Structure 1
Amino acid sequence: MSICIKDQIQNMNIVIGCTVGCAYCYARNNVKRWHMIDDFAAPEFFPGKLKMMEKKRPQNFLLTGMSDLSGWKPEWRDEVFAKIRENPQHQFLFLTKRPDLLDFDTDLENAWFGVTVTRKAELWRIDALRKNVRAKHYHVTFEPLFDDPGIVDLSGINWIVVGTMTGAQSRKIHTEPEWAWSLTDQAHKLGIPVFMKEDLVPI
């Protein structure tokens, strides 16, 4: 998959709701605002949206924009994976903050599994992803970056994203350019593509 920019990614909210409980969760706020489901802490599955995958023109889909993969029931995941296999023309992105709760194998060529890391104390998520999700492609989203992650083990990672806090909280939380440049340098030394979000200096 070539590295895509934000407006090249389609959100496909097959599951809405999350049990992680992040204080700064934009998804929870949007769900409440638009009355998508009654209880954000009780994820719901919307299999009818799988028909979106039948589009012929190749697209990039984010399937966890309103959920966390760790909160998906195994049967939901199996149904989604089966549909992904039927549609190799697309690329599908998944994100989680709780890879320790996952444990599965997949040989899907067009599925990318990633973790969100916002601070050094969360680097364990990368190791847990590689251990618990045996997949073809991995990515890491360092966004919003709250502190300097230092030296990061990016072995086996295929793509990273670096970004800062946006929206109402952006004035309170600032990502230092040095942190972003350090991650970029580490990734480039390993030949890993980097996408720097538009709110940081472009690479």
Structure 2
Amino acid sequence: MKNIEWCDMTINPVVGCPRGCPYCYAKKINDRFNFIEDFSKPKIFLERLKQINKIKNKRIFMNSMSDIAYWDNDTIKTVFNTIIENPKNEYYFLTKNNDFEKVIFSLGLSHFMFENIFIGLTITTQEELEVYINSINDYRLINIEPILEPIDLYSISKKSIFKIRGIKKIILGAETGNRKDKVIPQKEWIENIIRFCNEYNIKLFLKDNIKKYL
């Protein structure tokens, strides 16, 4: 599968997600290539973790075809133990479940213990951002993809300056494909996020699919 722009490679020990987001690019890819029969029922491929033992100095996205929040605990532990034993890479995970960090802590696997592990929260709307702000969870990576409406990141600073200090990277992308209700981002939506990241010295990665709207 084609690499994701902001990382060097992808390794997917799990494929599938029951969430059913209408804009999900992973399901579209699975529908095209038929990796698994039913995308709503995640399937485990732990043998893929063997690749990690041969890799160094790479940024690896570990769940481009799933949401880590739907992995079972044994799979999470196996994956984390493998990457902890191979510290010479950066590992990235994304989830839309704002409470997922509680699961990580309950398993004794706090990613804040490791500078090379990034668990990111994916948001698409202002409401999802507000849920994050009002929770006790902190993510070092925020993935705004696809952006479906104007999102005011400055609302974080109004409620929790500590959350801003914890955020190290933000990824911003637009909806892809030709869905009937596809959302086209406005230029000002993008510019506001760029301004926020510059002001708070947060690394921002603009995906190619959103640069064309600037």
TM-score per shorter chain, which class?
0.7 to 0.9
Rounded Cα–Cα distance in structure 2 between residues aligned with 1:130 and 1:169: 35
**What's the offset of the Cα at 1:170?**
9.3
Change (3 A) 1:164 1:73: same
CA 1:67 to 1:147, structure 2 compared with 1: closer, same or farther past 3 Å? same
Count of residue pairs the alignment pairs up: 195
Match for residue 50 of structure 1?
A: 49
Contact kept in structure 2, 1:70 and 1:96, CA below 8 Å: yes
Which one of 140, 154, 165 corresponds to residue 138 of structure 1?
A: 140
1:109 matched to 2:115? The reply is yes
Pairwise CA distance, 1:129: 7.7
Q: Which residue of 2 aligns with 1:126?
A: 132
1:2-33 Cα deviation digits (max 9, x unpaired):
xxx81643111110111211011121122232
How far does the alpha carbon of each residue in 1:24-72 deviate from its partner, in whole angstroms, 9 at most, with x for none?
1121122232222222111111110001111243111111111001101
* TM-score normalised by L of structure 1: 0.85
Distance 2:100 2:118 in 1: 18
2:6–2:205: 8 Å Cα contact kept in structure 1?
no
Residue type at the aligned position of 1:148: P
- Cα separation, 2, equivalents of 1:200 and 1:32: 24
The Cα shift of 1:96 comes to 0.5
What does residue range 51-200 of structure 1 map to in structure 2 within 5 Å?
51-103=50-102, 104-105=104-105, 106=110, 107-124=113-130, 126-127=132-133, 131=137, 138-150=140-152, 151-153=154-156, 155=164, 156-169=166-179, 172-200=182-210
Q: SS state of the match for residue 210, structure 2?
A: coil
> 1: CA distance between counterparts of 2:23 and 2:144?
15
User: In structure 1, what is the Cα distance between the partners aligned to 2:190 and 2:167?
Assistant: 17
Counterpart amino acid of residue 99 in structure 2: D
> Cα gap change, 1:148/1:7 in structure 2, threshold over 3 Å: closer, same or farther?
closer
List gaps (5 residues or longer) in structure 1: none
Identity %: 29
Q: Is the Cα contact below 8 Å between 1:117 and 1:141 reproduced in 2?
A: yes
Give the aligned CA root-mean-square deviation in angstroms.
2.4
* Structure 2 residue identity aligned to 1:139: L
Q: For residues 123-176 of structure 1, what are the alpha-carbon distances to aligned partners after superposition, in whole Å with 9 as ceiling and x for unaligned?
A: 145347862x7xxx6111112111111234151111001121223249942111
Q: 8 Å contact 1:70–1:99 — kept in the other structure?
A: no
SS at match of 1:94: strand
Structure 2 unaligned spans of 5+: 157-162
> What TM-score, normalized by structure 2, do the two folds share?
0.81
